[in-house]
Structure 1
Amino acid sequence: MMKSIDQPGVREREGLSAAVLAGGKSQRMGSDKALMSLVAGGPALLSLVLARLETVSNDVFIVANDYDRYDQFGYRVVADVHADAGPLGGIHSAVSKARQQHTLVVACDMPFLNRGLLQRMAEEPRDYDVLVPEIPGESRQGRGEMVYQTLHAIYGRTCQSVIEARIASGARQVMGLFEDVQVRTIDLSEVLQFDPELLSFFNANTPEALHAASRIVAGEGRLTGE
């Protein structure tokens, strides 16, 4: 498989796994969002995400329960054994099946992942349980609150047992995990240095969002963030 010529150093790639969660039901999209394209005849959303993760990891894999559907992409596919636990279950599958101690976890519907931001996260010393960007968004406290981007984060294998305990207790919220582990944040000012428009965190998870992403591509002539 062809590799990017501007990959980060060997330490970053060899010390970090990267997983794409593709086990969601795509209810808001109406069909499998991972297989959607931003332009006619263009690569699937999942292909864009996988290609970007290749720049920071040599252990890139897909978390999903439909092996036959995703095997076509040429990457390892691991089962989402806690599919009914939502993203928290997907994160558990990612960290438990990763070949490295830390795993970058992203969603399959994020077409504008930013290379510079991912590399910055990959270079952070790995003495944490979770490394996560924090940006303005919507939370239970309202719009504009600072929100952890839980599906654009690096999780240590130390999270595995904590997640197992939470799932066993019926907990499903990823944010609840953060109460029990050591979390380090990438703050907004640093995120903006790499991604001023915060497109890294854009989710093409509805027909309207997919159309908006297509318009971004048409207007700026790009398929992924730089």
Structure 2
Amino acid sequence: MDVVNVMLAGGASRRFGEPKASYMYQGKPLYEHVKKQLLKRQTVIISHPSLLTFFKERGERDVWLDDEQVRGYGPLAGMYTAMQNKEAAWYLVTACDMPFIRRETAEALSSYCSEHVDAIIPLVQGRLQPLFALYHHRCLPAIDACLKENQLAMKDLIQKLKVRIVSEEELNATPNEFRNINKRNDLPENGMI
């Protein structure tokens, strides 16, 4: 299956107080905890401008800023940039602040890819998880429309797509996997990821 991992690391990290992607946790940057658990495919990182040098120094080759016309428009801008610049059928989109995800969950999610749906999104504890989800390339026109209409919430995009919702039970996932890190105290001090 033709899939590219897309890690979104372009946010301002205001609540965290510093860029989350580069925050050192258990001996390595937070983004590396996430990247290690993605599908064994190419990973494209959509970066905040302040992190470009950091990622290059870490040996990352596929690091891009959002396209200029959509820069600062949130996750949809990152998805748009990835789909415009990297050809693939499917994109596993994830945030850089989800260090508890497991590769097994990503693989289980990818098993639901079908020509009959535009997106595969987990439902965990009654909440959709659109920032650990698969999106088909044919979502690009809907993403473009949302950006042009200034509808920047993920729910705005989801309403325009044919979505396969997959429960945490179907994925054999735990709710903890989908926890994102907004503040330093969201990270367990002594627990292993």
> Does the alignment reach a TM-score above 0.5?
yes
Q: Is 1:78 aligned to residue 61 of structure 2? A: no
Which of 109, 112, 132 is residue 100 of structure 2 equivalent to? 112
Question: Which structure: larger Rg?
Answer: 1
- Which amino acid in structure 2 is aligned with residue 166 of structure 1? C
Please name the residue that 2:42 is paired with.
59
Match of 2:189 in 1: 214
Q: Give the aligned partner of residue 7 of structure 1.
A: none
- In structure 2, which of residues 109, 132, 150 is the aligned counterpart of residue 152 of structure 1? 132
Contact 1:63 1:77 in 2 (8 A): yes
Q: Which amino acid aligns with 2:30?
A: L
| Corresponding residue of 2:114 | 126
**1:171-206: per-residue Cα shift (whole Å, max 9, x none)?**
111111111111011113223x2x33x122111221
CA contact (8 A) 2:100 2:176 kept: yes
The answer for the alignment partner of 1:18 in structure 2 is 5
Deviations 1:99-158 (A, max 9, x none): 31110010001111112111111222332211110112xxxxxxxxx2210100011111
CA contact (8 A) 1:95 1:156 kept: no
- 1:69 matched to 2:64? The reply is no
Work out the percentage of aligned pairs sharing the same amino acid.
26
User: What does residue 158 of structure 2 align with?
Assistant: 178
Alpha-carbon RMSD:
1.6
Q: Normalised by the size of structure 2, how large is the TM-score? A: 0.89
In structure 2, what is the Cα distance between the partners aligned to 1:118 and 1:108? Answer: 15
Structure 1 portions without partners, runs of 5+ = 1-10, 137-145
Equivalent residue number for residue 91 of structure 2: 103
Q: Distance in 2 between matches of 1:155 and 1:73?
A: 27
Tell me the number of residue pairs that the alignment of Structure 1 and Structure 2 aligns.
187
What amino acid is aligned across from residue 50 of structure 1 in structure 2?
K
1:47 aligns with 2:32: yes
> Contact 1:95–1:102 at 8 Å: present in 2 too?
no
Alpha-carbon offset, residue 32 of structure 1: 0.9
The answer to whether the 8 Å contact 2:11/2:48 transfers is no
The alpha carbon displacement at 1:24 in A equals 0.2
